[in-house]
Structure 1
Amino acid sequence: MSVILARRTLLGGTVALGLAAALPAQAPAPLTYRPIWPGKAPGGEKVTEVEQEIPRSPTGPKDDTAFLHVTTPTMAHVAPAKPNGAAILLIPGGGYLRVAIGNGGRALLQFFADQGYHAYLLKYRLPGDPWAAGPDAPLQDAQRALRLVKAEAKANGVAIDRIGVMGFSAGGHLAAMLAYRGDETYRAVDAADAQPLGVRAAGLLYPVALMGVPGTHRGSQDQLLGETPAPDVALRYRTDARITAASPPTFIAHAIDDRVVSVDNGLALLAALRRAKVPAEAYLPEIGGHGFGVTIDGQPAPWTRLFFAWAKRHGL
């Protein structure tokens, strides 16, 4: 168990990925998104909302966007020039109200590809729309995406036991649910669904974890479970409550001064991992706010160096 405290200012950023202000000098090529489901996503009989892509900021770059009312879950993939035999599924945030991909997502994919990973980015459905699975609709998409990554692992030279997940903010909640829950949330639709669930390791960046208790990120809870979920329901969707001795090694990065998602969420996860004796490392900078990115002044942020060393140690 490793906890790293830092006094260095990281970089205040956006709520979801925190990368729009920290792009590489040369922007990566446009991404190609592919649907993760054959045909329509499951359980959409009552969904009438129309998917929208909107600017995250009226003054920001045109391609710094977020998605509302996602009806076609998709996944983007960037292959590494020098593969290391591993893959990672990246899950952006947005408070379960939107999926904030845009510029930040493109930079994030390229950053991980530059480290040798086959990098995948998920655009998932949102629980506020009337999907039959309710709060499990995003998890259905995450499970399906993971299985697709595994199904094509051999063709990509990826070891099936070297696939990880990383999530940001509300995406950190979804990534943790994917990592810590092993139950099926949908019926198989094709051969890819024969792939097992489970990841080698999980990275959770300023993650939402708590539900129904002090420290809860109310926006995420309201979208996922409603304003006043029953205690047993709230407990079911607390990711710290899902951790067992069988949970994968987990890396947490959460700024102590985060005023959007309280660091109590990251600390609750760390405490649960310690109780379960699951290998874990936590980077808890004094200053950083919510949504810090992968670079500072054009250089890799401290947490990235720590994460990659930790990931290598755990076979990712």
Structure 2
Amino acid sequence: MQDWGQGPSGEDLEKKIIDFSEQVKKKFDANKPTSFKPLLFVILLLVVIYGGYSSMYEVDTEETGVVLRFGEFAGFSDPGLHFMMPFGIDTVYLVPTGRVLKEEFGYRTVSPGVRTTYNKRGLEEESLTLTGDLNVSDVEWIVQFKIADPFKYIFRIKDPVGTIRDISEAMVRKAIGNTDVTRVLTTERAALASAIEQDLQDTLNQYDVGVRIVTVKFQDVNPPDPVKAAFNEVNESEQQKESLIFQAREQFNREVPRARGEAKRTLQEAEGYRAERINKAQGETNRFLALLTEYRKAPKVTRQRIYLETMEEVLPKLDETYIMDNDASGLLPLLPLRKAAEGGSK
């Protein structure tokens, strides 16, 4: 079992008491042994002091005390000062239930702070994992958890932290082993971490460890150092490919809507021209039918009216007009009425 924080066990104090009792006994043996009352008084006083000292313990604000009485679970104790049965009758284990505990894989924090320093030497067996396409990746991750049930955490299994580490490492290798290296190194980190967190929690629930997983997070995922340069070239090529695809999509989104707009405008213009021609043809047809109806009623009058209307439309477009008469012996004098009218208008 791990070395949990406990209340005062009194082992050191007990040794001091025994040593002190021996010294007092020798001193009284050296003197006249007329009475044992002073020795008994000193021993009784030391026993009372030891009992009082071992009957008190303190639980920190981020801890929960697990109390055992004669080795059997007796209950939990909240933060604060408490009393317990002395002389080893009660035993208290202090468990940090209020803190988020963290386990690191593939690296270790040497000195935390503003500039945290890490160490990776000798941890390659933790970090090197095999992907689904038989590539090797260097994975660093953390597991953060809280103790939900301190009694189960202490007594269900011998080494709860070691168990969490072993199960976490197995879950990570399983998830990465089912994924190709490109997704592991680029796009699938968050999804993989979420799946690992769920699988890890389910497995720990089966073990009934009394632990709640807070998060599983990949700190760094890289190819191994011998192939890092080659992978970076491949990654740059992939990024260039994605950039070209993005540019092509951008041009597509710019040109295609414009072409579609022009095509739609052309179709609308054609539809309008079509409707105009149809309406005009229908109008001329109706006009012709109306003239035909009038012509059938009075052919001569209608023919004369059509002739006059046509002349009214044609004559104004001519520069000069000559009127010929078959009975006349010469040209009919022409009065330039239109030119006179134009001159007058000017």
TM range (shorter): under 0.3
More helix per residue = 2
TM-score by length of 1: 0.18
Bigger relative contact order, structure 1 or 2, given CA contacts below 8 A and separation 6+?
1
Larger Rg: 2
